Structure 1
Amino acid sequence: MKTNISSTIKSITLFAFLFLAFQINAQEVKWLSWNEAAELAATDKNPKKVFIDVYTDWCGWCKKMDKDTFQNPEVAAYMSENFYMVKLDGEGKEPIEFKGKTYKFVPSGRKGYHELAAALMQGRLSYPTTIFLDQEFNMLSPVPGYQKPEPFLNIARYFGDDIYKEKDWKTYSGAR
């Protein structure tokens, strides 16, 4: 009986240690709303670029990218350091004010879409789509589709480290 209790305690202790070790290594991404990112960009002395994850609640690939890519410690650390990270529901119902225009939800088909999401995705409603903007919220590039951590990090560094100012994507990506 003592052996079973001792073995159980050891197992619980090992589980707790592994759980805590994982939690310490996991990087938590602080997702912002569009308005929060706009406010930070306007008030920070050294504003960051803006990254937008356009998703929908029903999108399985969006959920997979959240789990596999955005929770990757290296991706999360790089993105948090270099970008304001925004989650934008492509079918969100709340109006968003931006650059003197109000973007709204548009009922269409079975659900509909948000005008800002459609504008950022340049009319291609494909989920997930990630959007990279500069510090003034000017478009750098939309990137449609699920991205694994390593390819995603290459794309993020291209914009985050200003490589796009010196090299075109084909030259940069071919050199890797």
Structure 2
Amino acid sequence: MKYCRKISILLIALLYPLLHFAQERINWVSFEQLDSLLAVEPRETFIFIHTDWCTYCRKMEQEILTKPDIITAINTNYYAVSLDAESVQEIAFDQGIWKPKSNKKRTGQYHPLALTLLNGKQMVFPSILRFDREFHLKNIQQKYLNSKELGVFLE
């Protein structure tokens, strides 16, 4: 019994930092939530537009958007939204409902909200958009950003 308690305390001491690290991630919100959040507490918005097939998008999600300093910067200063550019979901946002042309996901068939957010720009993935408190486009990057480049983008 005495050893069980010591072993338990040792395991908790060793595993606690890992549990804490695993819980640290970006607080992604939906566009529906973003509408409400901006009305209650205006804040800058970070939008990550990606696709399932984009290798650089996945690399950014796994390697860059998981770094503690990037997570802290985004969670502290921004509302973060992730948008699959080829999504087939209806999205309620900005007093409208954005409906895809088809209910089947197809490569190259982009969601109308993604097209609107990119404002006529070429569809390049990943696309990272930064909006000010009034939801006016402040900055856009349409390429893979390493952690240093993303840090500068977020400043």
Q: TM-score scaled to structure 1, two decimals?
A: 0.71
The alpha carbon displacement at 1:22 in A equals 4.0
Bigger RCO of structures 1 and 2 (CA < 8 A, at least 6 apart): 2
Residue segments in structure 1 that go unaligned for 5+ positions in a row: 1-12, 158-176
Residues 93-119 of structure 1 show CA distances to partners (whole Å, capped at 9, x for unaligned) of 122233344322135974511011112
- Indicate the SS of the match to 1:88: strand
Contact 2:31/2:93 (<8 A) preserved: no
Change (3 A) 1:153 1:83: same
For residues 28 and 110 of structure 1, what CA distance do their matches in structure 2 show? Answer: 28
Higher helix share: 1
**1:110–1:41: structure 2 CA closer, same or farther, 3 Å change rule?**
closer
The more displaced of 93-102 and 130-139 is 93-102
Residue 25 (structure 1) shift: 4.2
Q: Do residues 74 (structure 1) and 72 (structure 2) align?
A: no
Higher Rg of the two aligned structures: 1
Alpha-carbon RMSD across the aligned residues, in angstroms, is 2.4
Identity %: 27
Counterpart selection for 2:29 from 27, 32, 54: 32
Distance change (3 Å), C-alpha of 1:109 and 1:58: closer
- Aligned CA distance change for structure 1 residues 86 and 135 (closer, same or farther; 3 Å): same
Classify the secondary structure of the residue corresponding to 2:83. strand
Deviations 1:97-144 (Å, cap 9, x if unpaired)? Answer: 333443221359745110111121233111110111111221112210
